[in-house]
Structure 1
Amino acid sequence: MRSIFFKSPSPTRMTPPPSPSPSPSPARMTPPPSPLHHTFSESLMEENIEVADAIITKWETDVASLFCDRDEARQFLGSIKGLQKAMQYLALHHSSSQKLVRAQTLMQTAMRRLEKEFYQILKSNRAYLDPESVSAHSTSTSIPSASRSSFSDFEEEDFENESRDENDSIPEVERVSLAAMADFRAIAEAMITAGYAKECTKVYKIIRKSIVDEALYHLGVERGLSLQQIQKMEGEVLEVKIKTWLSAVKMAVKTLFYGERILCDQVFSISAPIRESCFTEISKEGALALFGFPENVAKCKKTPEKMFRVLDLYEAVSDLWPEIESIFSFESTSAVRSTAVNSLIRLGEAVRTMLADFETAIQKDSSKMTVPGGGVHPLTRYVMNYISFLADYSGILSDIFADWPFTIPSDLPVSYFGSPDNEDNISSPISVRLAWLVLVMLCKLDGKAAVYKDVALSYLFLANNLQYVIGKVRQSNLNFLLGDEWVMRHEQKVKQYAANYEKIAWSKVLGSLPENPTAEISMDQISLARRIVPIYKEFYEMYGGVQARREHWVESLVRYTPDDLGNYWSDLFYGSRSSGSVSSSSSRGGRSR
């Protein structure tokens, strides 16, 4: 370098050394300027400006896409980097230089071009940069690390070769998406580093927000749905909207917002504040609308029929909470997290209120209706169906009541649910609560059994209803919550009720039978058959004749012919129809009993 900037003195024109002069005083000594250093640095900066001028001016009016050619894009971004260094040097040493003005003008031209490229990539790759595609390959190793500088990536030959090798194994859609994300990052870093962050993020926010809003619309998420509007909805309409929300929320969180967060983190990896600002402006409004809906539903009128939809809403938000907390982790998105938490709180309160109202409704049931034949009461069917569905939500109910323990007026009888001190008793608070609701219903059934005037029919009613309860327990998760011991105890009660019914209802019939089953019964003892069969014959001829039997509904009223009746009566007393029959015919007309 010395040979370039210095010339050796000619041997024929050697001059004598100058005479020594007095040394200046220390106070007046100043370091001599370094014109060689400045000249060298200036020449490098001028070269950077000239290179940038040639490249940037070339693309100032070119309508083709700069990033279609990776080499051209690399050179363009490299020239911007060199131009930045020149501007920094000139601003420090020659702030009034015309070269600095020229460099600033070139930088503005370059930024306009990059802003245009950024917009074109956003628009042309919209289908490849939808949140679903981004979230689908978010765990792929081919996605550049957020900490890696994409601005520098374009200056490294090995980066492109490495990316090409990695991308050979992934689908075309993902390959295009990854390439677009890399271009975004490179442009974003260049513009942000040059001080043009606002111009870069403005177009990004507008386009990406429109994508998110459109996706939420197609998912059925409604904006601006107020509490008053929800309260005025018909039950069927609200049911449809809840179903729509339940089918939308998982996709919205795990795909839409998650994918958008990943894209923001990748594109604006150079700046944490810009990442946060972009994601918040793009997603916050839609997320608040999404998680505000269940909170408003929870504030509506609470009826037992809404219990299971409220539990579905609670379960959906609760299951997604880890993702919600992670995706909306920024301070500026804390309102989204708060809205989701408030939804859980309000929904939990609604469940506790509705469960208490359900128990009160059972206790207040004052219906005096009796079921013909001692069949299953409607209250039994309704309550057991309700409780068996509640058993499917035992895990969610445990979460809801974790901080508000169940309380029951008194301990469950040991004869009903076993001793809580028993080591074999694996009952949980939810098990105890549901067992209590069943007990409340069984107590009401005892009162309804007393309405029957026939004591035998009361026992039959209790047997039938308790058998229905046991069947529902066995067929649902109540079997795991109440346990086998509970089932066996109540099966014993069914047998007791049935035995009491047999004893009371059939004691007179059994008492009329001879002690010796083989003893012959006289005709006088079956005189009742002689009186009943002729009367039944007249009834049959009127309602069960050939003409009448053409009506299908008649068969449900008249099942047996007079001969059938006589034969059955004979079977009852004689065990056969060969002798002693009050019927003149042994034919049954092909009918079964």
Structure 2
Amino acid sequence: MDNGIENLVSTWKFLKAKVEKSEAFGLSIEKAGLRLDEINRRLPHLEVAIRPIRAQRDDLIAVGGHINRAVVPATAVLKVFDAIHGLEKSLPDPQADLPGYLGVLKRLKEALKFLGENCGMAIQWLADIVEYLEDHKMADERFISSLKKAVENLRELEGGEEKGLLDGGLLQVSLDRLANEFRRLLSENSVPLPMASPVLENEQACIAPSPLPVAVIHKLQAILGTFVSNDRLDNCASIYIEVRSSNVRASLQQLKLDYLEISVSEFNNVASIDVYIAQWGRHLEFAVKHLFESEYKLCNDVFEATGFGVWKTCFAKIAAQAGIIAFLQFGKTVTESKKDPVKLLKLLDMFSSLSKLRLDFNRIFGGAACIEIQKLTRDLIKRVIQGACEIFWELLGQVELQKHTPAPSDCSIPRVVTFITDYSNKLLGDEYKPILTHVLVIEQTWRNEKFRERILINELLNLVKTNELNLETWSKGYKEAASSYLFLMNNHWHMYKYLKGTKLGGILGDSWLIKKKEYKEYYMSMYLRESWGKLPALLSREGIIMFSGGRATARNLVKQRLKSFTEAFEEMHKRNSDLVIADKDLRKKTRQVIIETIVPVYRSYMQNYGPLIEQDRIASKYSKYTAQSLEKMLGSLFHHKPMKHGHSKMRLLSGKLNNGVEDHYPIQTSSS
């Protein structure tokens, strides 16, 4: 019984082991099947790789010579390729040994030249072998197709844009390192120039020495030579433009050129133009003669050896990017701002600055490379000339229009008279006359007109004559004759005093000036006759009898006449208290004449007849003033009001010139 059970267990274990072994064997067979399928798929490729050529022995012997002829140049090319990559290990640091680095690059270039010249021939030999094998059906079609594809890839690499990668990109990387060294040399030696001292007013701008050391320039030239030989000059030029334009901008920033960005609307405040245009002229001259002149020479020194006109293009781009365009744009902004007589002087200042730099501009910014700068410069000069001439020719019409404006209520000098007096002398002065004459000559040349020598003088004389006619028109606008006479006295004296001894006064002549002085005397006497001169008659002594029974009558007459005089005096003083005599000497003389006309008569009258009313309880009603108080009151008349008449200016607004409260030139007066 026991033996049977043991046998049964043994049999079960045996069978179980067999089943497990069968399962394992089945899995192995399954895996082997998968591997066989993979081998079956790869077999054609392996067959191509292992046995590509299927030909008879004689055919194989015949093709051997062709294969050898293709293998020899291909092997030579591969050897050169290996030599090229051997040079990589010998490349030094360009910063430490630039000549050595350039020497290795030269050898690399020569090797690449050989590689480029022979690579094509080797590829052609390989292509011929593939074609021979295909024509004679000596190889598997898939093998032939693979060879043809490889040859085509070689042709594309050799003949396309990737030709430079025949060396695996070594030359490209080496040139990039050299470009970085070019940038480093420029950046580390490009230092913004100090700008403080040479831009002081009336100081001559100096031409700076080369901003780069000679040794550095030689290194840059050597690098450029390598880039030229590798058709990479544009790359260096771009780096040069970037670094040097940035350096020039940094130099100019020290001049605080924010005003160059001012808008047209901001320029309509004439008061600000003076400062900005004066700065603009000095800064432009300094920038051209100190910065751009130096940069112009440096570009020539660095790039001249390349044998190309690249240096002019580089300089043009540096100048444009560094700020010359901003200077010219500022000038254009000025020409587009609101027209104003004062603006004429500013435009002449700009023209003068541009004229001084004409030769420098033509030399530095000449040529096709700077064509844009030339266009902007010509346009600016044209705008300046046209703008100046337009304002100049409109002056007479604007002055003529002034006759329709009301005369000053205080009988002072109209602002247009004050302005034209000073303005004309400025235009005839040594500073502006040559410039304005030059501008007018150019303008008339553009219009194909012959320049008239006295055109400037005649136009200014017409301004003075028009002012004289306006005075007559304005004087008729006063309700009282006395105001009209005081107004004419003021203005004729102003013309005499402030034109005598001037260029314009010399042109007008002595007889004209004497006549103005005589007019002043005449209108002063007429003013006195129509105003203060009427008062002494009110203190008449007629009918005053101081003895016997006439004393009471005399007292009444004195009271009546003193009352009439006092009322008339107060009324006259009130009417004249707001009137102005701007000139100190004329004001003093007029006061003195009035005092001499009234005070002595009043003093004498009071001395003789004052005692008659002294005992009267209301005597002060009739004798309010003493001679001294009258003199003091008269001595305070015609005082100049600084807040109201301290300045004057003409503006061209909507085609009209008016007497605004703002001013560019102060009235020439003094207070007392």
Residue number in structure 1 paired with 2:518: 496
CA distance in 2, matches of 1:114, 1:368: 76
Query: Equivalent of 2:235, from 186, 199, 205?
Result: 199
In structure 2, do the counterparts of structure 1 residues 591 and 113 end up closer, same or farther at CA, with 3 Å as the change threshold? same
Query: Equivalent of 1:268, from 303, 310, 315?
Result: 303
Residue number in structure 2 paired with 1:446: 472
Q: How does 1:1-150 map to 2 (within 5 A)?
A: 57-59=91-93, 65-66=95-96, 72-73=97-98, 79=103, 83=107, 111-127=175-191
| Alpha-carbon contact 2:205-2:289 (below 8 Å) kept | no
- Deviation track 1:259-313 (CA, whole Å, cap 9, x = no partner) reads 3222211211213412022122322354334323423542455344543333333
CA distance in 2, matches of 1:570, 1:579: 14
CA distance in 2, matches of 1:234, 1:89: 63
In structure 2, do the counterparts of structure 1 residues 343 and 510 end up closer, same or farther at CA, with 3 Å as the change threshold? closer
Post-superposition offset of 1:188: 2.8
CA distance in 2, matches of 1:235, 1:257: 31
CA distance in 2, matches of 1:587, 1:366: 42
- Deviation track 1:215-272 (CA, whole Å, cap 9, x = no partner) reads 56665668997xxx95555723995695465564334333333232222112112134
Residue number in structure 2 paired with 1:19: none
Does 2:244 align with 1:208?
A: yes
Using structure 2 for the length normalisation, give the TM-score. Answer: 0.52
1 or 2, which has the higher helix percentage?
Answer: 2
Residue number in structure 1 paired with 2:339: 302
CA distance in 2, matches of 1:116, 1:505: 88
Residue type of the partner of 1:467? W
In structure 2, do the counterparts of structure 1 residues 344 and 525 end up closer, same or farther at CA, with 3 Å as the change threshold? farther
Residue type of the partner of 1:430? L
In structure 2, do the counterparts of structure 1 residues 366 and 218 end up closer, same or farther at CA, with 3 Å as the change threshold? same
In structure 2, do the counterparts of structure 1 residues 455 and 291 end up closer, same or farther at CA, with 3 Å as the change threshold? same
Worse-matched range after superposition: 272-281 or 503-512: 503-512
2:442 is paired with a residue whose SS is: coil
Query: Equivalent of 2:395, from 349, 358, 374?
Result: 358
CA distance in 2, matches of 1:568, 1:472: 28
CA distance in 1, matches of 2:170, 2:227: 13
CA distance in 2, matches of 1:362, 1:459: 22
Residue number in structure 1 paired with 2:329: 292
Post-superposition offset of 1:465: 0.8
In structure 2, do the counterparts of structure 1 residues 529 and 443 end up closer, same or farther at CA, with 3 Å as the change threshold? farther
Q: How does 1:196-345 map to 2 (within 5 A)?
A: 196-214=232-250, 230=263, 235-236=268-269, 239=272, 243=277, 245-246=280-281, 248-271=283-306, 272-285=308-321, 286-304=323-341, 306-345=343-382
User: Which segments of 5 or more consecutive residues in structure 1 lack a partner in the other structure?
Assistant: 1-48, 67-71, 144-173, 407-419, 421-426, 514-520, 541-566
Query: Equivalent of 2:441, from 402, 405, 409?
Result: 402
Post-superposition offset of 1:338: 1.8
In structure 2, do the counterparts of structure 1 residues 90 and 498 end up closer, same or farther at CA, with 3 Å as the change threshold? same
CA distance in 2, matches of 1:133, 1:192: 41
CA distance in 1, matches of 2:478, 2:607: 41
1:275 is paired with a residue whose SS is: helix
Higher relative contact order (CA 8 A, sep 6+): 2
CA distance in 2, matches of 1:537, 1:574: 10
Structure label with greater radius of gyration: 2
In structure 2, do the counterparts of structure 1 residues 137 and 311 end up closer, same or farther at CA, with 3 Å as the change threshold? closer
2:190 is paired with a residue whose SS is: coil
Post-superposition offset of 1:333: 0.8
1:280 is paired with a residue whose SS is: helix
In structure 2, do the counterparts of structure 1 residues 137 and 303 end up closer, same or farther at CA, with 3 Å as the change threshold? closer
CA distance in 2, matches of 1:381, 1:324: 40
CA distance in 1, matches of 2:346, 2:233: 46
In structure 2, do the counterparts of structure 1 residues 204 and 368 end up closer, same or farther at CA, with 3 Å as the change threshold? closer
Between the two proteins, the alignment pairs up a number of residues equal to 443
Q: How does 1:415-454 map to 2 (within 5 A)?
A: 428-452=454-478
CA distance in 2, matches of 1:470, 1:124: 67
Residue number in structure 1 paired with 2:432: 393
- Deviation track 1:16-74 (CA, whole Å, cap 9, x = no partner) reads xxxxxxxxxxxxxxxxxxxxxxxxxxxxxxxxx99x969962326xxxx33xxxxx556
Residue type of the partner of 1:276? K
1:358 is paired with a residue whose SS is: helix
Residue type of the partner of 2:515? K
User: Which segments of 5 or more consecutive residues in structure 2 lack a partner in the other structure?
Assistant: 1-82, 123-164, 199-203, 446-451, 547-553, 570-594, 615-624, 636-672
Residue type of the partner of 1:484? G
Residue number in structure 2 paired with 1:346: 383
| Alpha-carbon contact 1:129-1:177 (below 8 Å) kept | no
| Alpha-carbon contact 1:131-1:260 (below 8 Å) kept | no
In structure 2, do the counterparts of structure 1 residues 301 and 574 end up closer, same or farther at CA, with 3 Å as the change threshold? closer
Post-superposition offset of 1:185: 3.3
Residue type of the partner of 1:438? V
Post-superposition offset of 1:213: 4.6
- Deviation track 1:71-126 (CA, whole Å, cap 9, x = no partner) reads x556666x46985997799799999999xx99999976764443232111222223
Residue number in structure 2 paired with 1:486: 508
Residue type of the partner of 1:356? W
2:305 is paired with a residue whose SS is: coil
CA distance in 2, matches of 1:326, 1:253: 11
| Alpha-carbon contact 1:570-1:577 (below 8 Å) kept | no
1:451 is paired with a residue whose SS is: coil
Q: How does 1:514-529 map to 2 (within 5 A)?
A: 524=544
In structure 2, do the counterparts of structure 1 residues 266 and 395 end up closer, same or farther at CA, with 3 Å as the change threshold? same
| Alpha-carbon contact 2:205-2:285 (below 8 Å) kept | no
CA distance in 1, matches of 2:205, 2:227: 28
In structure 2, do the counterparts of structure 1 residues 207 and 381 end up closer, same or farther at CA, with 3 Å as the change threshold? same
In structure 2, do the counterparts of structure 1 residues 131 and 180 end up closer, same or farther at CA, with 3 Å as the change threshold? farther
Residue number in structure 2 paired with 1:28: none
Residue type of the partner of 1:572? P
In structure 2, do the counterparts of structure 1 residues 237 and 209 end up closer, same or farther at CA, with 3 Å as the change threshold? farther
| Alpha-carbon contact 2:413-2:487 (below 8 Å) kept | yes
- Deviation track 1:459-485 (CA, whole Å, cap 9, x = no partner) reads 54333212212333358xxx23x3525
Query: Equivalent of 2:421, from 360, 364, 384?
Result: 384
In structure 2, do the counterparts of structure 1 residues 269 and 490 end up closer, same or farther at CA, with 3 Å as the change threshold? same
Post-superposition offset of 1:486: 2.0
Post-superposition offset of 1:341: 1.1
- Deviation track 1:125-144 (CA, whole Å, cap 9, x = no partner) reads 2326789999998575xx6x
Worse-matched range after superposition: 342-351 or 363-372: 363-372
| Alpha-carbon contact 2:248-2:291 (below 8 Å) kept | yes
| Alpha-carbon contact 1:288-1:336 (below 8 Å) kept | yes
Residue type of the partner of 2:318? I
| Alpha-carbon contact 1:577-1:586 (below 8 Å) kept | no
CA distance in 2, matches of 1:223, 1:591: 56
